[in-house]
Amino acid sequence: MRISKYKKIFSLILIYSFLVLVSIVIFYPFLWMIMASLKQSDQALFAKSIFEIFKFEEIGLRNYSALTSLSSPPLLIMAVNSIVTSVVSTLVNVICCFFAAYMLAKHKVIGGKFLLFFFVSTMIIPQQVVAVPLYLVLISLGLINTYQGIILSLSAESLTLIILYRFFKEIPKEIIEASYIDGASELDVIFKIIFPLAWPAVMSAILIQFITSWNAFIIPLISAIDESLYTLQIGMSYFSNTLFVDFKSIMTLGTIITIPIILVYFITQKRVIKGITTGSIKE
Amino acid sequence: MLISNIKKKDFKTQLIYFLFIVPALIVFIVFRAWPIMYSFILSFFDVNIISGNTFLGLNNYISLINDPSYIKSFMGTIRFTLIVLPLTILWSLLVSIILDYKFLKYSNVFKGIFFMPFVTSWIVISLIWKWFLNSKFGVVNEVLSILHLPEQDWLTDPDVALWAVIGITIWKMGGYFILIFVANLQIVDPCLYEAAEVDGANFCNKFRYITLNALKPAFYITLITGTIFYFRTFTIIFAMTGGDPLGSTDLIAYHTYKLAFLSFDFGRANASITFMFAFIGVVLLLQTVFFERRD
């Protein structure tokens, strides 16, 4: 008994040190980026010690104010573009997928199996693969270099539809049948019964789609031609290719991009993880 | 229920159902399905946005197959996927089994941290690591020298650049794979292990006959999504290596992007997309058939 207790403590120590070590490797680049964005001189970036960056010397917000004064492309416009494209594309995606998933999961739609297969199979056409022809399609539709083009291209992600479909499948039929018998219309059922029930799954879908849209790179890259349509991601890539922006500023922009999404993620961690896993496991 | 009487509930009900599906259908057709079909059509043309298209037959495909840099890029992507996918799966299997250890507390905290790179954008991660991999003052070489390991010219040596991309990819995507495995491990029936212990099974036997078997859904889903994730690798190449040094990291999604937007050869770029799409489709089909046959 005693031996197995020591064995347990020993293995726990081993496991914790392994997990902490991995956590440091995962966390270090993020901390480094934040510290680099706060440094006033380049010295710490070129330091020969990996801990140099964490010294609280020469710390301040000058990089942030310098970034806001850049005129081409302006930070504020890029931030607004990022927020608008990701919020609106999330709304479009989740609203469309909500109705489609509900109909396919709870009603006998003719060709429903085929439609579901179609939606799921678009997963094998990721943004990076579809980018080149999407560019040509956007040109022919006159949507190139417009908000609508970026937003709609970002909205065609079917993971949300799968998450919602899986959830609707688990809602008992009887609830819907009972409300039909009480004389409820289709819209009544959707908004008064299904929507409140499905709220947790809808929330997961919203979060996952928001993260995807916020982090999208290739679609804004091909469809935003004017600087006035650049998102923060494109701005970061643009800065990294110009000589007049120093590396601290690039890391400052990186921090601005990353902090909101990490905060959203940590606050809603359970929902995000639930969404990601119900979208895949539990066949 | 009422819905099941399709004959009575007739055309009108179906029309209402369909109206609810149409918005999603339009978005997915116009912005995913149609571009892929359009790309297939355009792959037979010399595409010129200004002066119009000329029919070329199979010439785009033939010239791609005869282009050594294209074949190198395609094979390089397959090689990259064949290396990075098993490594990510092994790594996340190891971590998830550790996270599943029954006496472990705070496993949610660790899961939260491990998943963080997955929700961060590729462009940010690529640029941080580009700095870290700098051979003179990068953190990676710093750590290697502390450990008395040989330092590398990560981004300029053709033999190691792809390994740098592989390492960062595992660093970023590992969290997703770990989540899938952990979720799968949590639904394994503990009775199975107890029964095996009664029968005198050791850790290896339990792992081999119970855990690996029960993890089949997780293996399936990580193989499928991993194939899609890795075959499309783009942003890290775009932002970190630019396909260099000597084309050693010139993966197919980036190569195709260059064909279209640097050489303005949209015909060949579209032929390349047909190859990519067909390849992903065939691989996913084979994986599905393999898993279904073993059930």
Q: Provide the ipTM.
A: 0.89
pLDDT digits (tens, 9 = 90+) for A73-116: 888 999 999 999 999 999 999 999 999 999 999 888 888 899 99
Does a structural domain hold residue B48? no
- Domain CATH for B108: 1.10.3720.10
- The answer on B164 and B123 residing in a single domain is yes
CB of B34 within 8 Å of a chain A CB? The answer is yes
Does a structural domain hold residue B128? yes
Does a structural domain hold residue B137? yes
Q: Do A19 and A10 touch, CB atoms closer than 8 A? A: no
Does a structural domain hold residue B59? no
Q: Kindly state the DSSP code that residue A171 receives in the 8-state scheme.
A: S
Q: Do the chains contact at A100 and B42, CB–CB below 8 Å?
A: no
pLDDT of residue B85: 96
Does a structural domain hold residue B64? no
- Find the domain containing B19 and state its range: 2-42
- The answer on B77 and B13 residing in a single domain is no
- The answer on B155 and B97 residing in a single domain is yes
CA A274 to chain centre: 15
pLDDT of residue A3: 65
- List chain A domain ranges: 2-60, 67-278
3-state secondary structure string, chain B?
Answer: CHHHCHHHHHHHHHHHHHHHHHHHHHHHHHHHHHHHHHHHHHCCEECCCCCCCEECCCHHHHHHHCCHHHHHHHHHHHHHHHHHHHHHHHHHHHHHHHHCCCCCCCHHHHHHHHHHHHHCCHHHHHHHHHHHCCCCCCHHHHHHHHCCCCCCCCCCCCCCHHHHHHHHHHHHHHHHHHHHHHHHHHCCCHHHHHHHHHCCCCHHHHHHHHHHHHCHHHHHHHHHHHHHHHHCCCHHHHHHHCCCCCCCCCCHHHHHHHHHHCCCCHHHHHHHHHHHHHHHHHHHHHHHHHHHHHC
Does a structural domain hold residue B58? no
- The answer on B170 and B26 residing in a single domain is no
pLDDT of residue A283: 42
Does a structural domain hold residue B55? no
Interface of B with A in 110-169 (CB under 8 A): 110-117, 119-125, 127-129, 131-132, 137, 139, 142-143, 146
In this structure, CATH architecture of domain A67-278? Orthogonal Bundle (1.10)
Q: Is A114 exposed, middle or buried (0-12, 13-18, 19+ CB in 10 A)?
A: exposed
- The answer on B261 and B139 residing in a single domain is yes
- The answer on B31 and B115 residing in a single domain is no
Count of structural domains, chain B: 2
pLDDT digits (tens, 9 = 90+) for A108-128: 888 889 999 999 889 888 888
pLDDT digits (tens, 9 = 90+) for B190-237: 888 888 888 877 878 888 888 888 888 889 889 989 999 999 999 999
- Does A133 or B8 have the greater pLDDT score? A133
Closest partner residue to A217 (CB to CB) among B14, B31, B235 is B235
Closest partner residue to B124 (CB to CB) among A11, A141, A257 is A257
Interface of B with A in 172-211 (CB under 8 A): 175-176, 179-180, 183-184, 187
- Banded model confidence at residue A280, pLDDT cuts 50, 70, 90: low
- The answer on B29 and B109 residing in a single domain is no
Interface of B with A in 91-110 (CB under 8 A): 95, 98-99, 101, 103-104, 108, 110
The beta-carbon contacts of B48-55 under 8 Å, at least 24 apart in sequence, are: B48/B266, B49/A136, B49/A139, B49/B266, B53/B267
pLDDT of residue B1: 47
pTM here is 0.90
